[in-house]
Structures are given as structure tokens and as C-alpha cells.
Chains A and B, each alone.
Chain A
Amino acid sequence: MTVNLQFDPIRLPPECEILRAEVRAFLAEEIAAGTFDPHQPGHGDSYNRAFSRRVGAKGWIGMTWPKRYGGHERSQLERYVVTEEFRVANAPSHLHFVADRQSGPILLKYAPEHVKADVLPRICGGELCFSIGMSEPGSGSDLFAAKTKATKTDGGWRINGSKIWTTNAQVADYMLALFRTASPTKENRRHGLTQFLVDMKAPGIMVNPINQMTGKPGFNEVVFDNAFVPDDHVLGEIDGAWKQATSELAYERSGPERFLETFYLLLELIRALGPEPDLRGAEGLGRLVAQLHTLRRMSVSVAGMLQAGKEPVVEGSIVKDLGTLWEQKLPGRVRELAAFVEAEMLNRATLEDQLAFATVVAPKFTIQGGTTEILRGIIARGLGLR
């Protein structure tokens, strides 16, 4: 048998470069105004409601969605440009990014018309933050072992149980969550979960922050105590979320955010090496550049496939597998290559601060959004091994 992997050499069309110039000008203004510091690691993960609204006003959230829901009907490749420029600049896009990347597309596909008309324009305006309720205290990568229950009641559902490691929950307006509406069957252990849109302001929802090993908030435990979700917030097929959840992950996997989260380290390494690097520094840097260029060309290619209406599940998983491993190793490589850079280099202190942050944050890259092991299982299935 022949295994067919395809990565066509997609180039960004000219309209993308016009857009890129606009995005860079906007970000430069925001930096000048003191909204964020591009050299400060971790800023890309911070929340800034006013900034997200300005991004929304620019038309850069929900870019590919229909205009009738506040979208802009632009291409996946244009969205790609905005995403990568924001990441490279370290701009605080966390508030709107999850909604833009994955919650919105799910709502577009499965929410009732009036819910779409209500929620999607507010996402596009940068007003809404979404979280994703999948992992539970007893289940993580094994998505379909979730136990948190949704019980049918008058006009809706009562939710009991808890989600955990939920990013954004401490600020989120909504959660897209998987709840158990029936037991799994003998034939299909994935049966019985349903996807819901949960208003985080509803009574009976308690959010308990869990600090991450960076010392910063990020994780949460979300406890549902008889919280009510109305019928029209059911997304898609009751008991059939297993058909939906996997396509959400495909969107989540292949974007430039999967290898640009610690991009600032590479820039700082270039500054530290200076114009006359030793051979070891030059060679090491060259390899990192080649690897980054390769990842980006792969990622752009997947964006091109999404634009063409394909579902590049295997290719997307490969991009995340390679991309997250690369950025996880990046702090270590930069540390080695900068080891012999003179102590009085101008940016030594900045580099060391960034390295300290990136080294601590690196373990999460290969866990969030599908662990390396899960991704490789998906790739193996695509290869015909499972």
C-alpha cells in the first residue's frame, strides 16, 4: 500500500500581504501605546478585554465566518496571517482566540439559528471569551470517559459534576462542554456524550482557580451543582458528540500558534549571537531557522487545505506533533547556543528572563490540545495501522 501525505506548496496570495502590513501597523501602534510589551514572555497568554474589542473592530475575529453572523467571509489564509503576526508580536489574544479558533466554528455548524445570531456577532466583536470543558478529574485524553452528567428536565438539562484543567474558565463568558446524557453502549463506548453551550454566569457553576507551575493562573476546576442549560443550547446530536468533537480538534491542531508560542527566544538568540557568531552558534541557529521555516510551510499548507474545504486530520496532527515538540525543545537549544555568549552582551538579562519563563512553560506544549501520544495514535490510524 502507498501512504499518501500531501503538503502542497501553498503561497499566501497578495491580499494576505496587504493585510499583513495592516496588522503590523496596528500592533506597532498598540505596542507604542503601551498595551503590551513584545519582549515580555507570557503576554500572548494574558487577557485584555479592551484590546480584544479593538481587534474585533478591525475585523480580525471570526474572519472566515458568514457576514450575517458578524464575520467577514475572508479566507483561511488571511486568518492565518493575522494569527501568526499576533503570535510573533506576543500580543495578548487569549481572550478571543479560543472562540475564534474553535468554539465559533462549532457553533456555526451545530447551534440553532437564534443562538448563532446572538453569540457569534459578539465573538466577532471581541466581547466574548470561551473555555472548553472536556477533561475531568477522572478523564483527560480519554475524552469519552467523561462522567459529568446532564439530566433532562423541563425545557433543558441539569448539569452535575466537574471539569478540570479548564483554561480561560476564570474569565470565560461561555464554555463548550461535553456532558454525559446516556451511558455508553456495548457496541460504542463513545456513545452517550452531548455537546452543550454553557453560559458561565448561570447559577450553580463554581470556578476554582488552579495555579500552574509557572506560578500564574491558567487552570481551573469548574464545578456544576445542578446548573441549568436550556434545550436550545444543545449543540448537534444528543448522545452523538463523538461525531463532532474530533473535527473541533482538527481546527485546533495545525495553526501557527503550535510552534510560535516561544518565538521571542529565537529573536533574542539572534540578538545575543550578534553579527559575528561562532561556528557553533551559526550552525545551531541555522538548523532552528530551517526547522521553523519547514513547520511554517507545513502549517500554511494545511491552512490551504482547510480553505479548499478538505479535512486534513492527519496532516494537522503531524503539524502539531512536530511543532509542539520543536517549541518544547527550543528553550534547551537556545540555552546551549547562547552558553558561550559573553556575559556583558546587551540582551543577556532579557534572554535569561525569557529562557527562565520558556523553560518552565515548555512542558505544556505537548499536552494541551491533544497529547503527543494521542496525536501519534491519530497519525497511526491515518497510516492504516489501527
Chain B
Amino acid sequence: MQTLAAPRRRVGMKTGKTWAWAPSRIISLRKQPRGSSLTSPLAWASEDLGGSGGTLADGFAILATAGRFALAAPLAETLAAAWLLSHASVKLPVNAMTIAPVRPHDRIILDADGRLSGRASGVPFAQEAEHIAVLAHSDERPMIALAAVKDSRLAEGRNLAGDASNTVTFDGVRPLADVPAPIGLDQTTLMQMGSVIRSVQIAAALQAILSLSVAYANERVAFERPIGKFQAVQQNLARLAGEVAAALAVSGSAANAIAQADASEDAAFLEAASAKIRTAEAAAEGAAIAHQVLGAIGFTEEHVLHRFTLRMLSWRDDFGNESYWAAELGRRVVRRGADEFWPLVASR
């Protein structure tokens, strides 16, 4: 495995009287003792597999908390990997994991000799993880595999926020484990799960951005008043609150739908796709408003704001971007036909 040094970043920034913290690497996955509260990254796997046996709802709550701090560590990725591996009853490694593929059209093949080949781009934190959970295609059905990152080839890459995002190439890699995926779990399922994870993170980051922006507007004085007293600024922040509200509602609904597992296939698709589409739109709109409110200070490297805005803008691209999901959702809706459209919406 190539070792690439993670850039050092400042982790806190004083904004007026407010300290907003965005801790980098507050969770050391490798060193955490078993059974401690920090086994949360493995919440989505049962205890006999080495997980902490949390519910899906617990995991989404953990992700929301991490999102509010723009956590720059592979927590969501480890959770997602544990979720995937638990479907194959694969014993979990106790270290940082990531998951592949994260792009809807990337394909990884498990051949008849049991070797992985193919390329997955934009794999988050691959260079900082030790293991990678893979959904692979085989002649018969989707397979779930666990591979060591060091056995793959990594290309350097970073997302907008500077977090590792690597193209991972498997050239006939023998996985540590491979098991057929349960019926019904395929790449679309993985993309839906990943999208809901990202939408929960985006909504949480937006919440933090709203609090930070409101606090700044109440403190920063211009023309002898806090800028939050100006109607133009108030109207912008109200719009930001609307985007935050939309993101919270749609991501919370989608996470709930996954946790309850009570939706029909089309309804689950509607929930997950909508969550990714709408939170991605909210991320773009919300980031623009927050940067406008914070002005020059929010555009500095020192300030914490970009840790939220850039991270959430990057998250839009993982597990299918909003345009991909919109086209897929649109196609599904027209295939069902106009008469079956409202019943689908009303079923949620």
C-alpha cells in the first residue's frame, strides 16, 4: 500500500466570540479498545461478528453527530462497510474500513478463480483504511468481499475538502473473504444505502452551518448594527433555514425508511433517491448562503466554515450524484405511469 501523508489542518477557528470546533481525526479506529463506546463505527454489525450490535437508527444518529462536526475520518465508510459485510456474516476487522464501489457505473468483478478485478473511483479514505468491503459482480450473483487495501493499487486523490478520495484498482486480488450477497442486495441497494448515509451527513453539516451563520450574524457589527438585524441578511438566513429543514426532513425520512425496512421497492427508491437529490441541492444552496453571510472571514483557510461547506459539497458525488438519481427516479416514475404516481408519493 502506498502511504500518503494526510495534510495537517487546524481544527478550530474563532468566529467572533464563538468557537466552532471541527475535530480532525478525533476517532482513532485502530487504537480503540474493544467494548469501549468508540466501537460505534461498527454499530451496523452484530456482536458475534465483532460489531457493537447497534440498530440502523443508532448508526444514523452517530452519523448525524459526526456530520455536525464535519468529521474528517472514515467513520461513515467504516459503518457502511460493516453494514455490507454483516450481510455476508463476514467477521469484521477492527480497524478503519472503506467501501467500494461508490460510483453507480463502476464495476468490480469476482472471477471464477475467486480473484477481484476492476476499478472503483472516488473511494473515500481508501488510503487511510486497512480494509475495503467490496460489492463485486460474478457470473451468478452479486458477491460481498473483504479485501486488504494493501493488495490493491491506489491512485492519489482528494475531494474538495482535502479528504482522501482514491481510485482503487484490483488486478486479480484474492480477497480475505467472499460470500454471495443475500437475494435482493445488489449495487443499487448499496448506492441507496450510501446515498442515505451521505444525505444524513449533509443535513447534519447544514445544521451546523446554520447555527454558525446565525451566531456570526448576531455578533458581526456593520453600519453600527449586528448584520443579522438587516432584512436582507435575515431573508438569506431564513432561506438557509429552509434548506436545512428540507435536508433534515428528507434524510431523516429516508434513514427511517431503511431502519424500518417497511417500504416497497419503489418507495424505498423514492426515499433514498429523493434524499440524495434534495440534500445535494440544499448543500449547494446552503453553502452559497453561508459563505455570503460570513463574507471574507468565511473564505479563509483558517475559518471553520469551509470544513463543512466543502465536505458536504463533496459528499454530493458519492454513491451517485443528484443528477444520476434524478434521472433514475424520473425514469421509474414514468414507467409506473401518471396514475400510479400519487399513490407512490402518498404511500410514504
Contact = CB atoms under 8 A, between A and B. Distances in A.
Interface of A: 1-3, 5-9, 11, 20, 84-85, 88, 263, 266-268, 270-271, 273-277, 279, 281-287, 289-298, 301, 314-315, 318, 321-322, 373, 375-377, 379-380, 382-386
**Band of interface residues on B:** 35 or more
A267 to B, nearest CB: 5
A7 B248 contact: yes
B207 A3 contact: yes
Contacts of B229: 385-386
A3 B214 contact: yes
Contact of B337 (A5, A270, A285, A385): A270
Contacts of A294: 246, 249-250, 274, 278
B87 interface: no
Interface in B325-348: 325-331, 333-335, 337-338, 341-342, 345-346, 348
The prevalent SS among residues of A at the interface is helix
B226 to A, nearest CB: 8
Nearest to B328: A286
B237 interface: yes
A284 B331 CA distance: 10
B323 A270 contact: no
A214 to B, nearest CB: 25
Interface centre among A377, A380, A382 (most CB of B within 10 A): A380
B147 interface: no
B214 A385 contact: yes
30 contacts: A5-B245, A6-B248, A9-B252, A9-B255, A9-B257, A88-B342, A267-B338, A273-B330, A274-B334, A275-B337, A281-B330, A285-B330, A286-B327, A286-B330, A286-B331, A287-B322, A289-B341, A290-B277, A293-B278, A294-B278, A298-B249, A314-B241, A322-B242, A376-B234, A383-B210, A383-B238, A384-B218, A385-B228, A385-B234, A386-B229
B211 A3 contact: yes
Interface centre among A274, A297, A386 (most CB of B within 10 A): A297
Given A279-B327, A383-B237, A286 B252 contact: no
Nearest to B336: A270
A146 to B, nearest CB: 23
B10 interface: no
B327 A282 contact: yes
B141 interface: no
A286 B248 contact: no
Interface centre among A3, A263, A373 (most CB of B within 10 A): A3
B274 A1 contact: no
Nearest to B339: A267
Contacts of A382: 241
Given A297-B348, A298-B249, A286 B329 contact: yes
A270 B338 contact: yes
A175 B275 CA distance: 42
Contact of B238 (A266, A297, A380): A380
Contacts of A289: 270, 274, 329-330, 333, 341, 345
Contact of A292 (B237, B245, B256, B345): B345
A11 B244 CA distance: 21
A5 to B, nearest CB: 5
A59 to B, nearest CB: 20
A11 B239 CA distance: 26
A318 B242 contact: yes
A11 B348 CA distance: 7
B69 to A, nearest CB: 13
A297 to B, nearest CB: 5
Contacts of B210: 3, 5, 383
Nearest to B279: A294
